[in-house]
Amino acid sequence: MGIGLNGLNSGMQDMYSSLLGGTGSSASGSSTLLSDYASIKNGSYGKMMKAYYAKVGEEETESSSKSDSKTKETDGATASAARRFYETASGMNSLDYSEENIDGLYDSVSAFIKDYNTMIKNASNSKLDDVKKQADAINDLTYSNYKLLARVGITMNSDRTLSIDEDTFKKVNEKTGATNVPTLKTLFQGYGSYADKLTDKMSKLYRTAGEGESVTSSKAKYAGSAGSYTPADKTDDTDETKAAPGSSKTAKDSASAAAASALYKSIDKMGSMQIDNDNKDNIFEAFNTFIKDYNSLMKNALESVNSNVIHQADYLRNLVNGNKSAFARMGITVNGDNTLSIDEEKFKDSDMSNVKDLFTGAYSFSEKMTDRINQIYKYATQGGTLADQTYTSQGTYSAGEAGTVLDTTM
């Protein structure tokens, strides 16, 4: 059965009309199509599309640049204030907490409050949301201790700062003769005290406000003095050869301090090395030194007479145990006696990117280790910090002078 010519023409016209504009007239659709065709033929359409996609590309690049800039944004003022207050809070542990030294304690706590206020103001007013969150956490910690603080004359103000009343601080109970010294020791001295917890908070705040570095890393820089205290020899120098492990909180531990200093140096060396598969021999040598220094620190610290040193060594041991799998991939074994051992052949057969992941970059294993090692050194020396040390070409160190800008190099 055939199709008539009129029917065919009608069908073609309907299809043509549909292609050119649907419900619009065929003349209008034809004009639009011919106009587009002319634009394509003379090249103007192509130029228009190139210009459009070039603009889109620029907008995407600009957006990406803004995003990258945002991720790298830092808060130098808060980082500097956190670094300084870290030193001040760390130093509170080494003060002479005797009733005869109440005037000296008042001066030290006043300096503590001054540095605290600078830090909390900068952090609370930061443009970085993560820094503000850290400020909230610090304020919460202080609030949880407000009763003890009030007892010694320290008040929390509405702007998050602290203020101190000298008369209340130095008052003596007329009936019993009691002073505020026991409360001051609870707040500012020893493991788990308010000041001790603040040092951990400052480490986190410094990382967040800065470039991800540890507050005790060799790259950390700070201006001014190393804190508002002077390490003193007024603490109990317990005879370590006779005292039982963990029998004191104030005993100095020179062996653990020396081991902590050595490990701090070996970690920093690992972080500054070229870590790739073309440098395996040098990396193995440095890693082997790191293991020897770690083993030495664990041996001394876990047998320390100072209970705070033992606690910090436990934290360090848990950090290492948490990375067993990563170590195993490099031929390193975490032994039952808390030491590490290394298989040279397996180590050199492994991909050095595994080492790089552990020892470089923000929030790396090594950055977390340096924070904990500094805590061990602080308790072992009763107030010192590894960030105060500058290393000579012979590998020994000397205390940095107060009042200068320090950049710890090892």
Q: Could you write out the DSSP letters of every residue in 119-145?
A: HHHHHHT-S-HHHHHHHHHHHHHHHTT
User: Averaged over 202-217, what is the pLDDT?
Assistant: 78
pLDDT for the residue numbered 359: 85
Strand partners of residue 162: 156
User: Averaged over 211-218, what is the pLDDT?
Assistant: 64
The pLDDT-based confidence of 332 (bands split at 50, 70, 90) is: very high
Task: Assign 334 to helix, strand or coil.
Answer: strand
pLDDT tens by residue, 313-325: 888 888 888 888 8
pLDDT tens by residue, 250-309: 788 999 999 999 999 998 888 888 999 999 999 999 999 999 999 999 999 989 998 888
| Residue the block writes with tokens 């664990």 | 298
Q: Up-side HSE of residue 365: CA atoms within 13 Å toward CB?
A: 20
Lowest mean pLDDT among 139-148, 214-223, 309-318, 401-410: 401-410
Running DSSP on this structure, what letter comes out for residue 235?
S
Q: How high is the mean pLDDT of the chain?
A: 77
Does the structure show a pLDDT above 70 at 380? yes
Strand partners of residue 399: 389
Instruction: Find, among 215, 218, 270, the residue nearest to 391 by Cα.
Output: 218
Euclidean distance between CA atoms 163 and 217, whole angstroms: 32
Q: What percent of the chain has pLDDT over 90?
A: 39
pLDDT tens by residue, 229-248: 333 333 444 444 446 776 77
Euclidean distance between CA atoms 84 and 18, whole angstroms: 76
- Polymer length of the chain: 410
pLDDT tens by residue, 6-27: 554 555 555 545 444 444 444 5
| Residue the block writes with tokens 């990382």 | 207
Euclidean distance between CA atoms 144 and 44, whole angstroms: 71
Instruction: Find, among 201, 227, 203, 205, the residue nearest to 216 by Cα.
Output: 203
pLDDT tens by residue, 85-116: 988 898 888 889 999 999 999 999 999 999 99
- φ, ψ of residue 257 in degrees (nearest 5): -60, -45
pLDDT for the residue numbered 307: 87
Q: CA 393 from chain center: how many Å?
A: 28
Task: Assign 248 to helix, strand or coil.
Answer: strand
Supply the pTM of this predicted model: 0.49
Sign of torsion over alpha carbons 197, 198, 201, 203: negative
Running DSSP on this structure, what letter comes out for residue 390?
E
Does the structure show a pLDDT above 50 at 338? yes
Q: Which of 147-151, 171-175, 203-207 has the highest mean pLDDT?
A: 147-151
Does the structure show a pLDDT above 90 at 222? no
